[in-house]
Structure 1
Amino acid sequence: MSADIQLRNVSRRFGPTVALESVDLDIAAGEFIALVGPSGCGKTTLLRLVADLDQPSSGSVRIGGLPPATVRRQRQLGLVSQRPAVLPWKRAVEDVEFTQKVTGRAGLPARGLLRDFGLAGHEEKMPHHLSGGMLQRVNFASAIAHDPEVLLMDEPFSALDEMKREELGLWLGTELATRPKTVLFVTHHVDEAVLLADRVIVFSPAPGRILADIAVPSPRPRTAAFRTDPQFVALTDRIRGLLFGQWRAAA
């Protein structure tokens, strides 16, 4: 299952600082949307508004026509942070089961989910016995164990080396093909955004505004070979041009 997301004239201010200004965005159910932009442009702020971890100063956010607080209480949100938010005293399978216990939703079988995520034989291991990539898979499994409609991801691969980052990105694309979700994905990596997303939303420097909404025409999931596709090269060049043009203008 998945739900649409709608932001209308959303702004967020922190005292005199404007983090987001007049953002309008429509995300269809099942779409994968990547947010890119310079540091401090409001990408994570927007994700936090959708997650009901913060409130807009003005404007409205709706998920499936409902306020984020309602959707959160219905346990329909999954959140993946930059670093694995696993519990150090729990085994991998217990960490996934804990999400189900807290949400009161059986969702997906914990052991089967971990096996599907390439962790067969590691279900009983403690966090300090798992690699960074394995921990992030546990983190992701915990985020979707209750089978939420919406998956919110804040630079989920930033703590990984480049090879593991690409491996998990491709793995994520395959997993979402079998378990569709509406995804909001924050990243600083332009290549990663174009490889994974249906659309890439490019933000200006603070105060964050949408500079461009760029569709990636190739269907998901995409393989590493897409990096050599002329579409990929053209899209990444266009996005970098927007980002660096804004950076130079702000300097």
Structure 2
Amino acid sequence: MASRTIVDIFVPCFVDQLFPDTAMNMVKVLEKVGCEVRYNPNQTCCGQPAFNAGFFNEAREVADKFLDDFSNETSHYIVAPSASCVGMVRNAYQDIFVKSSKLVKYRAMQKKVYELTEFLTDVMGITRIDGASLAGRYTYHDSCSALRECGIKEGPRALLGNVRGLELVEMEDSETCCGFGGTFAVKFEAISTAMAEQKVDNAIATGADYIVSTDSSCLMHLEAYIKKQNKPIKTMHIADVLASGW
């Protein structure tokens, strides 16, 4: 009997606190495609909020913990439902550990970290989740982290293209930032809100029922604007879409 692919999941802090169903749906999808899913309850944050705000010492402490939580002697993959956090670990950690004695340990872990959709398409070779179905039209938001830090673009669309009942309608400027940017949304509220307005207006112009993305942080930002302005569209994380209908 062939061994199952072992996956250690990383559930980002904001997903854990605000979107736990998305984390559970990621597990549901991974198990559906034959993975053995493992979860280390000691995990917390990747350190991105501190790093982006310029608190490098504090970010290093969190990164050290992440490295300890997810380093082992096996070849387990590390999968997260957030390209933003994956981009942090895959890219920013290089700066954090560049002069550290832990650099070799980090390099070994770096190769194993994947966002959910790229793990499904690039590692597992899967573009269809059996039974996935959702009626309606969707437009896709390419998050900055997914597109620019992780090079993710076609994989999510391929997976969504095989969801029964779902139709893609591309929006104008799908690759433009939604305006969230973590603390950017707090420090530059007016600019951030204007960017969300533009993104939502572009999505609505397509006639789509849903805005779908790999990143709950982007969707949280857009959902807040949608609800406040009572706009006729919904947001869905791709893990929630892939887990629908079965």
TM-score by length of 1: 0.30
Per residue, is there more strand in 1 or in 2? 1
Structure showing greater relative contact order (alpha-carbon pairs closer than 8 Å, 6 or more residues apart): 1
TM-score by length of 2: 0.30
Per residue, is there more helix in 1 or in 2? 2
